[in-house]
Amino acid sequence: YPDQKCVIVAVGSPAGGKALKVVNDLPQSSEISQIAFLLNDERINGKGWALRAIMEIARTLGADLAIVEADLRSRERNGETEGLAPDWINLLLEPIKREKADLVISRFNRHYFESPISTHVLYPLLTAIYNCPIHDLVGGQWGISHRLLRTYLKTPWSTDTEIGGYGVDSWLATMAITNEARICEANLGIKIHWPSAGKAELVLRKLARVLFEQIVTDKKWWRETEEIG
């Protein structure tokens, strides 16, 4: 969106100091501003807390939000870019701007067995209980409207919640569903990233745990929805 002003925000744990430096070293521009900081308090330095900080900034600015993970990579093949590419931002925000969507969830071209917990647990539960077939909850890239940001930030978190860590994606999805947000998916092609050793299993466990917790929390909602249906 070259004709619009934007703000690049990078927030993370102390281990993400290198990414912070990259953002701070970006060329200055009247159209693009940068905000970058670390969450040094170990009680609130998980992925979820970083996303909440970013959402607070976007709400203050009255802006729609595109979220991309820090460990993404790209490569050139046959003259085309695979993995992280400039058009990802457009794919995450265009449904919000043109179609009045509230939440855009990334979807990637994966092997069926690449993410078994997502394929065999998260997707079936979201479809059966919430009637919302989200194919790739572990995709990690999001487009969020300024309207939905207000809904998300109404709910306070405790410092011991799994939502403040890797379980935040399950919370984002179920909160949007139960608040009747307009949700769609955006296929971003191939995801290339450098996950930490053992991180994938940990992420999936946290996502599954928060999803089960949300199902219990939302029991009244999905029971009433089932009765209406």
Structure tokens at 55: 């959402």
**pLDDT value of position 47:** 93
Place of tokens 């009255």: 62
pLDDT tens column, 110-169: 877 777 778 888 999 999 999 999 999 989 999 999 999 999 999 999 988 999 999 999
pLDDT surpassing 90 at residue 220:
yes
**pLDDT value of position 18:** 74
| Dist CA 97 CA 54 (whole Å) | 20
**pLDDT value of position 181:** 98
This prediction has a pTM of 0.92
Determine contact, residues 126/132, Cβ cutoff 8 Å. Answer: yes
Q: How many CB atoms lie within 10 A of CB 40?
A: 9
pLDDT surpassing 80 at residue 15:
no
What are the structural domains, with CATH classification, of the chain? 65-228 (3.90.550.10)
**pLDDT value of position 227:** 63
Determine contact, residues 134/123, Cβ cutoff 8 Å. Answer: yes
Determine contact, residues 86/1, Cβ cutoff 8 Å. Answer: no
Structure tokens at 12: 């993370």
DSSP result, 52-90: HHHHHHHHHHT--EEE--TTEEEEEETTEEEES-THHHH
pLDDT surpassing 60 at residue 14:
yes
Q: Within 13 Å, how many C-alpha atoms sit on residue 11's CB side?
A: 21
How many percent of the chain have pLDDT more than 70? Answer: 96
If one compares 194 and 46, the residue with the highest pLDDT of the two is: 46
Q: What is the mean pLDDT of the chain?
A: 90
Average pLDDT over residues 18-27: 78
**pLDDT value of position 29:** 84
Average pLDDT over residues 165-186: 97
**pLDDT value of position 70:** 84
Q: Which of 3-17, 72-86, 122-136 has the highest mean pLDDT?
A: 122-136
Put residue 210 in one of left, alpha, beta given phi > 0 → left and psi -120 to 50 → alpha: alpha
**pLDDT value of position 88:** 96
Nearest by Cα to 92 from 14, 28, 144: 144
